[in-house]
Amino acid sequence: MTITPQDVPDILSPAFAADPYPVYRRLRDETPLLWHAPTRSYLLSRYEDVRRAFKDPAFTSENYAWQLEPVHGRTFVQMSGREHTVRRALVAPVFRGTALQERLLPLIERNARELIDGFRDTGRVELVSQFAGRFPINVIVDMLGLDKGDYDTFQRWYRSIVAFLGNLSQDPEVTAAGLRTREECAAYLLPVIRRRRDALGDDLLSSLCTAEVDGTTMSDEEIRALCSLLLSAGAETTDKAVAAVLLNLLRHPEQLAAVVEDRELIPRAFIETLRYTPPVQMIMRQVAGDVEVSGGLIPDGSTVICLIGSAGRDERQYADPDAFNIFRADLTARTAFSAAADHLAFALGRHFCVGALLAKAEIEVAIGQLLDAMPDLRIEPDFTPVDQGTFTRGPVSLPLRFTPVRERIRT
């Protein structure tokens, strides 16, 4: 049986949007399984329950048929069994190993450098609009071999898709905009994909056109759907993580100083940010059969909202969970970007994020190059950073000051 605490702010309320973490604590302690009538979903808030939802086959991705497919089309993330295994195998190789190091890493480094060159001599930057919000989209467009002159179009599509996916209140205008984006994206991408099949290049789109596993290849529509998925899933985590990692470090100067001194600590700062202030706060699943969890029974066929932001602050799993600490002993760096991770920001098991290593590379490059350009960075005086978002969350704005490179060279 689930109990609804009347005085706990709803996850769609302004109070929750302002600061979800006290609400998460109440949910974990009082109602770890909560029926949420506005979204017709059950909320899971404890680490062990969310972890189970990502690993137990009883928690399926059937919900993606109505959550993702209308805006993206059908992709491997909503598939299961051999179909999922084969379709994922078509995609995964381009985001890891030699392909990542030799093809994608130079591209990531170039895109970060080009953006930073635009402000490294100015002494100030609004990090979200001038870097974090642009960097991952530029990388994805470059990876696919698309025209970066259409950046504004891709940015608009990205924002529209993310708004559609996070539309928990079912705003009809947000829904309509997302559906229009799918049509616009298809009209743009399908002709490009057909041309690319006839003239292959050294880019991700060409790799997808030629990928084959056990005689299975990807159709034009499957490639288009995957490109649409990359625009949202591939950009949203990195977009918000760049600003969140830097903000968390700025709020803990001794940890920032350690990262400035030793760049090998950047992955640890990223991992701790994924636990402490994860860019993706929640992921949905759908149960096949009745499932018993902390706090009660989830009926067969129900939608479940797995509160990643809450699981990362669960004192049953982490010591002093409300403290940001890149040196904490209860997060394992060695497995943090694999399906065996002990944080939950990339999900786990068979549906672990296929782009986790790409995200790691992007964060390492972005934070490393930003610290090279502004090792004495500081938040603009009298500015108080504010996080925003329910489904995904991150700093709205982050104005920074630093000593311009040319002045550091003179001194």
Each residue of 5-60: pLDDT tens digit? 567 789 999 999 999 999 999 999 999 999 999 999 999 999 999 999 999 999 99
* Residue, of 99 and 411, whose pLDDT is higher: 99
Average pLDDT over residues 400-405: 91
pLDDT tops 90 at residue 339: no
Query: What average pLDDT does the segment 244-272 reach?
Result: 97
Whether the per-residue pLDDT at 3 is higher than 60: the answer is: no
Contact criterion met (CB below 8 Å) for 372 and 113 = no
- Residue 89 confidence class, pLDDT cut points 50, 70, 90: confident
What number is the average pLDDT over the span 60-71? 87
CB 31 within 8 A of CB 2: yes
Point out the least confidently predicted range of 4-8, 125-129, 199-203, 207-211. Answer: 4-8
- C-alpha 320/C-alpha 21 separation (Å) is 14
Examine the pLDDT at 248 and tell me if it is beyond 90. Answer: yes
d(CA 337, CA 391): 22
Given a cut of 90, whether residue 345 has pLDDT beyond it is: yes
The pLDDT-based confidence of 4 (bands split at 50, 70, 90) is low
| 368 close to 113: Cβ distance less than 8 angstroms | no
- Domain ranges for the chain: 14-410
The token duo for 184 is 């616009």
Q: Is the pTM of this model over 0.75?
A: yes
Q: How far apart are CA 220 and CA 197, in angstroms?
A: 9
Looking at residue 290, what is its pLDDT? Answer: 97
Select from 225, 249, 230 the least CA-distant residue to 325: 249
Contacts of 195 (CB under 8 A, 6+ apart): none
pLDDT at 410: 65
**What confidence tens digit (pLDDT) does each residue in 104-143 have?**
899 999 999 999 999 999 999 999 999 999 999 999 999 9
Q: Does residue 336 have a pLDDT over 70?
A: yes
409 or 282, higher pLDDT = 282
Q: Pick the more confident residue, 5 or 228.
A: 228
User: What confidence score (pLDDT) does residue 38 get?
Assistant: 93
- For residue 259, the number of C-alpha atoms closer than 13 Å in the C-beta half-sphere is 31
Question: Element (H or E) spanning 298, and its range?
Answer: strand 296-298
| In the chain, % of residues over pLDDT 90 | 66
pLDDT score for 313: 98
User: pLDDT at position 405, please?
Assistant: 74
Q: How far is CA 383 from the centre of its chain?
A: 26
pLDDT of residue 148: 83
pLDDT value of position 236: 80
Query: In this structure, what DSSP letter does residue 335 have?
Result: G
Q: Is the pLDDT of residue 1 over 50?
A: no
How would residue 64 be classed by pLDDT, with cut points 50, 70 and 90? Answer: confident
Q: In this predicted structure, what is the pLDDT of residue 135?
A: 95
% of residues, the chain, pLDDT over 70: 98
Q: Is the pLDDT of residue 282 over 90?
A: yes
| Residues 14-410, CATH architecture | Orthogonal Bundle (1.10)
